[in-house]
């Protein structure tokens, strides 16, 4: 039941978006830009009734609910960051270290003993960062995946997300939802030359190195832990906002063990379930395009992309990437 960019499945009466490949609203026939399966899904007897479509207003409403349900986010006293130098957008590729001090001055590591944080951190060392190198997934690592999913699903935030997707006819049961989360996030695919070397979770949260550059790596906890060990060197930031508390958002330039990241956007101070839930919501509702949300009254967008070279189940898509962008 994914919203595919070239299909009307789950998209009937969806508002017009210029970036869409094809359209599913009432005017698409007049403009000759309907998706090929428009009549299959959007006629009165079609599968996707209009109340199953995830409208822009639905996203604004559910994202506010998820924001307010993020009870595990950092408090203002839990983190002190030192963003230092801000570069202009045309300077992000300069690879110059403008910030002599670390980004993180202080993090209250008691946060990391919370079950969702602890189970998340255990996943971060399960990956070989170089693309083209086959991932060897052990039984213990599979248990760690299951444990992380079990812990996040105990949270009010993820329960609210499931309730929303259930009402939108995307999942029949929480068990089905969790099984699909495991596939879309942890299922392996090949970014190299045939090796099962990547997954959505590895790319987004842990980070990869491809062709000499950092790829993915959009998580503040991962950044902090590596910076503390001297493996990440913070260079500058190109975006800061929209909050003056946590979660914050930074667009960062940094070096990871000598490999450069030109713009690595990340929420700062949010819980693992907050990012995991928002990215999942946007991947299901708006794959391949900007997903416009409202978080604490602030407009924010998330961009996701599907992995197009392989699928799982009945043609379902893996997550290629997901990251926060400014509205």
CB–CB of 213/228 below 8 Å? no
Residue 288, Cα to own-chain centre: how many angstroms? 12
Name which of 307, 275, 304, 120 is nearest 196 in CA terms.
Answer: 307
Would strands 79-81 and 232-240 be described as parallel, antiparallel, or unpaired?
Answer: unpaired
Report how far residue 282's alpha carbon sits from residue 81's, in angstroms, rounded to the nearest whole number.
28
CB 279 within 8 A of CB 287: no
Active-site choice (168, 210, 218, 292): 218
Separation of alpha carbons 63 and 59, rounded Å: 6
* Cα 27 from Cα 44, distance rounded (Å): 16
**Tokens 């994202």 correspond to what residue?**
63
Choice among 168, 210, 261, 292 that is catalytic:
261
Residues 287, 304 contacting (CB under 8 angstroms):
yes
Residue where the block lists tokens 């009937």: 12
**146 contacts 178 by C-beta, under 8 angstroms:** no
What span, in angstroms and rounded, lies between the C-alpha atoms of 147 and 81? Answer: 30
Q: Which of 203, 210, 237, 292 is catalytic?
A: 203
Active site residue 203: yes
Catalytic residues: 203, 218, 261
């Amino acid at each position: 039941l994914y919203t595919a960019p070239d299909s009307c499945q789950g998209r009937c009466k969806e508002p017009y978006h210029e970036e869409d490949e094809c359209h599913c609203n009432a005017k698409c026939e007049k403009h000759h830009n309907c998706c090929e399966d428009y009549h299959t899904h959007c006629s009165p007897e079609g599968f996707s009734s209009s109340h199953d479509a995830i409208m822009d207003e639905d996203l604004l409403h559910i994202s506010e609910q998820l924001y307010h349900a993020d009870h595990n986010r950092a408090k203002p006293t839990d983190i002190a960051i030192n963003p230092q130098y801000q570069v202009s957008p045309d300077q992000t590729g300069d690879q110059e270290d403008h910030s002599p001090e670390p980004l993180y001055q202080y993090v209250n590591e008691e946060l990391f003993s919370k079950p969702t944080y602890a189970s998340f951190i255990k996943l971060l060392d399960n990956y070989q960062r170089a693309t083209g190198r086959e991932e060897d997934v052990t039984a213990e690592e599979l248990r760690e995946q299951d444990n992380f999913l079990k812990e996040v699903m105990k949270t009010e935030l993820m329960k609210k997300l499931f309730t929303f997707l259930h009402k939108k006819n995307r999942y029949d049961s929480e068990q089905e939802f969790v099984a699909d989360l495991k596939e879309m996030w942890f299922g392996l695919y090949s970014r190299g030359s045939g090796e099962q070397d990547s997954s959505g979770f590895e790319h987004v949260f842990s980070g990869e190195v491809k062709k000499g550059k950092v790829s993915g790596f959009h998580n503040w906890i991962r950044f902090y832990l590596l910076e503390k060990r001297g493996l990440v060197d913070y260079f500058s930031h190109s975006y800061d906002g929209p909050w003056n508390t946590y979660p914050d958002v930074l667009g960062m330039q940094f070096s990871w063990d000598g490999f450069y990241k030109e713009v690595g956007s990340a929420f700062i101070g949010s819980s693992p379930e907050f990012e995991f839930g928002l990215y999942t919501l946007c991947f299901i509702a708006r794959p391949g395009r900007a997903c416009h949300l409202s978080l604490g009254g602030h407009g924010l967008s998330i961009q996701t992309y599907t992995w197009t070279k392989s699928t799982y189940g009945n043609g379902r898509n893996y997550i290629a990437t997901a990251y926060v962008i400014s509205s």
